[in-house]
Structure 1
Amino acid sequence: MKIAALKERHPNETRVAITPDIVKLFIRSKFDICIETKAGLAAGFSDEDYIAAGAKVSKVPLEVIGDADIILKVQPTPIDEKINELSFAKKGALIIGLLLNSEKNLFEAYADKKINAMSLELMPRISKVQHMDVLSSQSNLAGYRAVIEAAYHCLGIFPMLMTSAGTILAKKTLVIGAGVAGLQAIATAKRLGGIVQAYDVRQATKEQVESLGAKFINTHLQDCETKSGYAKAKLDSASVKAQNEILTNAAKNNDIIITTAQIPGKKAPILISKEMIAQMKPGSIIIDLAAGTGGNTELTKADKIVDINGVKIIGYTNFAGLVPNDASRLYAKNLYNVITYAFNDGVLNASDDVIKSMLVTFEGKVVYGL
C-alpha cells in the first residue's frame, strides 16, 4: 500500500503529517511512502532526511497522491486551492487528518469523489486508543506554548524576584479548563515560578490540579461532567451564575488567563465576558486556546491579538504549530498507530467501533453524525 503526504497548505499550518523517523516504521510495515518536496521544511525536516529514511520525494503533487491508498494530513487543504488532495486523490483513497472543523461542504465533496475520510478529533476517549490520540498530544504542546506566549507578551516576569532594588511579585495565572492543555499550562506556569489557580466544572479534576501545585477554585458548582469525560455543553442556571461569580472575581485578580474549554464538533463556550475583561488590569494577558472554534471570550478574534484598554487577548488558532518539530513528531507517531490499528492485510477494518466512530465519509456517503 502507498501512503502519501502533500505539503500542508492550510493557512498558518507549519506541521507535517509524517516525519522521517515514522517513514522508517512504515517501511518496516511494508508500506511505500511518497511525500511532496519541502513538505517538512517548516517543521525542520529536509527532503534529504526523508530520502535517507526511505521515502520517495517528488515535486509533482499528482505523482505524490494520484495513486495513494492513504493520504495523511494535518489539516485539509482549502477547496479553492489549486493544488488539493480532493482533486488528485483516486476513488477509494482514505484521507486521515484533523478534519472536523474544516470548511463547509468538504465532507460532501469527499463523498461525491468517493473518497473515504477519517477525522482524528472523533477518537473515542478510552484507554486502549490513548496511543492514537492526536488531540491529547497536540493539546499538551499547545498548553505549554500558551504559557510561553503569555510570558513573551507579559510586561513583567513570572517568578518572584528579590533584588537590592526591591521585590518583584510572582505573576498570578488562572487556567480555565483542566484537560490535557490546561494541566500542561498549569505545570508550565508553575515551572516558571508563577502563582497558579485553575477552574473546571468537573470536580474530578480537583486532585489533578492540586497535584501540580495549583489552587482549584471551583468550590460552588455541582459536578458537570458527562459520561464521556467532557464538561457538559450546557449548565443549569444556578451553575452558570456560580461560574460567572467565580470567574469575574478571578479575572480581576489574575495577571494572565489561559482558556482551554472546547466541545468536540461544536462552538466553544463563552466563559469570559466583555464585562469581565473590562475589570481586568491593564497589562493583563488572555491566551484563548479555543479561538479556532469561536473562542472562550466574547472579544476573541481568530489569529489576532486584540488590545482592550491594555488587556491583550491572543487568539492564535494553532498553538501546537508554534512548536512544529515536536508537534509533528508526536502527530506522526499517533497517525502511525492509527494506521497499523485500522488496517488488516491492506484492508480498512471499517466495522471496528473505534474506526467507525472516526469515519466522516465512507463509500460515497457522509457518515458523520449518523
Structure 2
Amino acid sequence: MAETRESTVTFGVLDETSEHESRVALTPDIVTRLRKAGVSCVIERGAGLAAHYTDDDYTKVGARVLSADEVIDNADALGFVDRPSADVLARLRPRTWVIGMLGSFTDTAYIDALDHAGLIGVGMEKLPRQLSSAQSMDEMTSQNSVMGYKAALLAADAYGSFFPMMTTAAGTIRPAKVLILGAGIAGLQAIGTARRLGAVVTAYDVRPASRGEVESLGAKFLDLGLDFSQGQGEGGYARALSADEQAAQQAAVDEKAAGFDVIITTAKVPGRKPPVLLTKAGVDGLKRGAVIVDCAASDLGGNVEGSVIGKQVTDGGVTIIGAPYLASEVSNTAANLLARNVADVLVHFIRDGKLTVQTGDELDDALIVAGRSVTATQA
C-alpha cells in the first residue's frame, strides 16, 4: 500500500451543478489519490450528486463535506469545471489558487481580475499538450473524447433511420452516411463510435497528419481537392486558415456535404471563435431529414453558420443541434477524467509541502496566468 503523507495543502471544490453542468472537479477516487500526495480535500455539500457521488462517498475516503463558505475559508487551492464567476472570485481569500479552464486566450479582463484580487490563476487551457509529462493533465483531450462519443449517440438518436445496414423480410435498409468535420480528439472518438454503430463514416480535417488517423479507424478521408500542407498549428491544434483558404474550404465542404445523412462538427479552438465549416448554403443543400450536431456551438458562433445552442429545424427539414455541453451529459465518466486532470495539475505545483511557482519550469511558465508576483520563487 502506498504511503500517505501528512496533509500540508488543502484542496477544495464547490458545487457547480446547473441546467447544463453535471460534472464535479473532485471524485472519491481522486480524494484517495490526493491524500497519498499529502493533500487534504474539502467539498461543498451535494457537489457530486449530479455525477452520482453522494456526500457519504466523499466522507468515507477522508474528505470533509462543508458549506460553500467553509470550503472557501479552508482551501489553499480550488478546482473548477468552469471558471468561477465574478461573485465567486470576490469571496475568495487572497493567495488562493484557482485551477481550471480560465479563458486566458481571449479574456484578459478576467485574468486581470484574478491578479487584482491577489489570486493565483492556473489556466489549464494553456497546457503544452506536446509534453509527455503533461498528458494526464490535459482536460481538453479528456473532455473532448467524451464529447465526441456523445455526439455520435446524439446524432443517431436524432436521425430518422438506422445507422447500420439492416436486412429484413421487408427489405434492406442502407447504412447512414456520416461526415465528421474536425478529426481531433472529439472527431476521432465520434468516428469510432459512429463506426461501431454501423454507419459509413467519412471525415475531414485541415491537418495533414489526420488522414492516417482517420483511415486507421476504418473511415474514409474526405478529399476536397485542396492543399493546406501547413495545417498543423501550435500545441496540436489546427492552425487558423487565411480568409482565402477558409472560403475555399467552405465551398468544397458545402458541395460534398449534400451526399451525407448526418454531419458532426467538432472544430473547437479554446477561448476563440470557432471556424465556420458548413455555411448556410451547405445546410440548405442537405436532404430533408438530415441531422447536424455542432459541438462547437457557442455564444461566439459555431462550426455551422446560423447554429445556436439547442435544437432547430430549418425550412428544408434539416435538424441542427448546437451541443457544447455533451461532456456534462456523460457526467460520471467525464467527472472522473476531469478530476484526474485537475488533481495532477495541483500536485505538479506542490514542492516541499507547499504550493509554489518555479520560474524556468516549462509547465509553470505556461500554466500560471495570474498572480505570479505573489508566489514565484527563483529556479
TM-score by length of structure 2 reads: 0.90
> Contact 1:288 / 1:300 at 8 angstroms: preserved in 2?
yes
Query: Is 1:221 aligned to residue 227 of structure 2?
Result: yes
Shift of 1:103: 7.4
Give the match for residue 99 of structure 1: 102
On the 8 A contact 2:250/2:276 being kept in 1, the answer is no
Cα deviation for residue 113 of structure 1 reads 1.2
Is 1:66 aligned with 2:73? yes
Give 1:161's aligned residue: 166
CA deviations on 1:204-251 (whole Å, 9 max, x unpaired) are: 1111100101100134323122253322212362x3354234311221
Q: Matched residue of 1:228: which SS?
A: helix
Return 5+ residue gaps in structure 1 as ranges: 366-370
- The more displaced of 356-365 and 89-98 is 356-365
Report percent identity of matched pairs: 37
Of 349, 355, 358, which residue of structure 1 is paired with 2:367?
Answer: 358
- Deviation larger for 339-348 or 30-39: 339-348
**Is the Cα–Cα contact under 8 Å of residues 42 and 71 in structure 2 kept in the other structure?**
yes
Among 17, 24, 27, the alignment partner of 1:16 is 24
Contact 1:174 1:250 in 2 (8 A): no
**Partners in 1 of 2:84 and 2:246 — Cα distance?**
38
**Greater shift in the superposed pair: 2-11 or 276-285:** 2-11
Could you tell me how far apart the structure 2 residues matched to 1:226 and 1:76 are?
26
- Specify the SS of the correspondent of 2:167: strand
Cα distance change, pair 30–151 in 1 and its aligned pair in 2 (3 A): same
Aligned counterpart in structure 2 of residue 272 of structure 1, from 275, 278, 292: 278
Provide the TM-score with structure 1 as the length reference: 0.92
Contact 2:15-2:48 at 8 Å conserved across structures: yes
Secondary structure in 2 matching 1:253: coil
Out of 125, 137, 141, the position equivalent to 2:129 is: 125
The CA deviation at 1:186 is: 0.4
Report the alpha carbon displacement of residue 297 of structure 1 after superposing the two structures with TM: 1.1
Among 23, 27, 30, the residue aligned to 2:35: 27
Is the contact made by 2:17 and 2:23 (CA closer than 8 Å) also made in structure 1?
Answer: no
Letter in structure 1 aligned against 2:201: V
CA deviations 1:318-347 (Å, max 9, x no partner) are: 110010100000111111211222221213
Aligned position for 2:3:
none
AA of the residue aligned to 1:212:
L
**Which residue of the other structure, out of 294, 297, 303, is the alignment partner of 2:301?**
294
Supply the distance in 1 between the matched residues of 2:372 and 2:213 (Cα, whole angstroms): 43
Query: How many residues of Structure 1 are paired with residues of Structure 2 in the alignment?
Result: 358
User: Does the 8 Å contact 2:357/2:372 carry over to 1?
Assistant: no
Distance in 1 separating the partners of 2:74 and 2:234: 42
Residues 203 and 220 in structure 2, CA contact (< 8 A), matched pair in contact too:
yes
1:115: which partner in 2?
A: 119
Match of 1:368 in 2: none
**1:254 is matched with which residue?**
260
> What aligned pairs does 1:78-227 form with structure 2 within 5 A after superposition?
78-80=85-87, 84=88, 86-100=89-103, 105-126=109-130, 127-218=132-223, 219-223=225-229, 224-227=231-234
Q: How far apart in 2 are the matches of 1:103 and 1:67?
A: 28
Does the CA-based 8 Å contact 2:265-2:303 persist in structure 1?
yes
Q: Is the 8 A contact 1:134 1:334 kept in 2?
A: yes
SS, match of residue 183 in structure 1: helix
Mapped partners of 1:105, 1:244: distance in 2: 33
Distance 1:103 1:8 in 2: 21
| 1:263 aligns to 2:269 (yes or no) | yes
How far is the alpha carbon of 1:67 from its aligned partner?
Answer: 3.0
CA deviation vs aligned residue, 1:53-108 (integer Å, no higher than 9, x gap): 110001x211111131110110023335xxx2x13321101010122179784323
